[in-house]
Amino acid sequence: MKKHKAEIVALTLLLGVLCYAFYDSNIESREQKIVLTNELFSMKEIKNKEEITMEMLEIPTEDLLKAQEENGEEENNNREEAASNSTELILANYNASLVKTVDNEVPYNEIISNQVVNYALKFVGNPYVYGGYSLTNGTDCSGFTKLIFDNYGITLPRSAPEQAYSGFRVELDNLMPGDLVFSGYGGQIGHVAIYIGNEKLVHALNSSVGIVVTSLYIMPIIDARRVA
């Protein structure tokens, strides 16, 4: 009986080894058909085949791929929206600062303004002609200012009342050389001149004196504008 038990045990062990060999060979042949990408090993190191799970080998379906794509697009949209909001905030702050600067300090180009003054003074003594448009042969007050500033690429309207809407308004105590000074009677603008500093103007005054330098207060001042 003991002899038969030994034979049974031996046979059982032999069958077990054969079954395992068959099972192991079968698994290996199946594994040759499986392509494992680097993504499968990104979370942890796989040391043997027993650690490979079916979830690792699962091929993504079209629905899963579509869902992943939609999630990626949503994340990109969120990032773009955040960047846009940030840009709008920066621009809003910049515009607010710009408005504050313009309100408190009118821009002034000293180089151009001084050139304007020096150029205008060259025509002192030339005639005044109502409706005229020549710095040498004769012009009126607004024709004089327009021609002077045209020489530096600054375009003004033709008449004095229209020029009073150009540039930035400045107070009399902040006048700088090159600013336009508007005057008249009864609150109506009828004349324009160029301030040259030291409370003096250069302008085409009238047909009696032509283009001259006079006091700032030769006529009632209504407004002053900075265009350069």
What is the tally of structural domains in the chain? 2
Mean pLDDT of 55-69: 55
Residue 25 lies inside a defined structural domain of this protein:
yes
Indicate whether 100 pLDDT > 50: no
Residue 182 has a CB neighbour count (10 Å cut-off) of: 21
Query: Are 132 and 139 within 8 A, CB to CB?
Result: yes
Indicate whether 176 pLDDT > 70: yes
Indicate whether 124 pLDDT > 60: yes
Residue 79 lies inside a defined structural domain of this protein:
no
| Residues 31, 56: Cα–Cα separation, whole Å | 13
DSSP-assigned letters across all residues of 19-68:
HHHHHHHHHHHHHTTPPPPGGGGSSS---SGGG--HHHHPPPPHHHHHHH
Looking at per-residue pLDDT, the higher value among 169 and 61 belongs to 169
Indicate whether 14 pLDDT > 90: no
User: For residue 219, what are its two tokens?
Assistant: 């006529």
Looking at per-residue pLDDT, the higher value among 134 and 99 belongs to 134
Query: Are 149 and 116 within 8 A, CB to CB?
Result: yes
Which of 39, 57, 75 is a domain's end point? 57
| Residues 170, 102: Cα–Cα separation, whole Å | 11
Model confidence pLDDT, tens digit, residues 64-95: 556 666 666 666 666 666 555 554 544 444 34
Could you tell me the residue range of the domain that residue 187 belongs to? 110-226
The gap from C-alpha 156 to its chain's centroid, in whole angstroms, comes to: 29
Check residue 27 and give its pLDDT. Answer: 43
Residue 166 lies inside a defined structural domain of this protein:
yes
* Cα–Cα nearest to 43, from 32, 51, 35: 51
- Whether the model clears a pTM of 0.95, i.e. scores above it, the answer is no
**Please, which pLDDT band fits residue 25 given cuts at 50, 70 and 90?**
very low
| Residues 60, 125: Cα–Cα separation, whole Å | 92
What CATH code is carried by the domain that includes residue 172? 3.90.1720.10
Indicate whether 134 pLDDT > 70: yes
Residues 123 and 211 in one domain: yes
Looking at per-residue pLDDT, the higher value among 40 and 168 belongs to 168
**Please, which pLDDT band fits residue 105 given cuts at 50, 70 and 90?**
confident
Mean pLDDT of 100-122: 83
Residues 137 and 220 in one domain: yes
Unique residue bearing structure tokens 């006048």: 175
Give kind and range of the element (H or E) at residue 212. Answer: strand 210-215
Residue 83 lies inside a defined structural domain of this protein:
no
**What are the catalytic residues?**
141, 191, 203
**Please, which pLDDT band fits residue 44 given cuts at 50, 70 and 90?**
very low
Mean pLDDT of 106-121: 96
Collapsing DSSP to helix, strand or coil, 103 comes out as helix
Residues 18 and 118 in one domain: no
Indicate whether 118 pLDDT > 80: yes
Residue 35 lies inside a defined structural domain of this protein:
yes
**All residues at 6 or more sequence positions from 138 whose CB lies less than 8 Å from its CB, including other chains:** 126, 127, 128, 129, 132, 210
Residue 100 lies inside a defined structural domain of this protein:
no
Residue 91 lies inside a defined structural domain of this protein:
no
Which of 32, 57, 82 is a domain's end point? 57
| Residues 139, 127: Cα–Cα separation, whole Å | 7
Residues 130 and 198 in one domain: yes
| Residues 26, 84: Cα–Cα separation, whole Å | 58
Q: To 5 degrees, how large is the angle CA 183–CA 115–CA 223? A: 15
Average pLDDT for the chain: 75
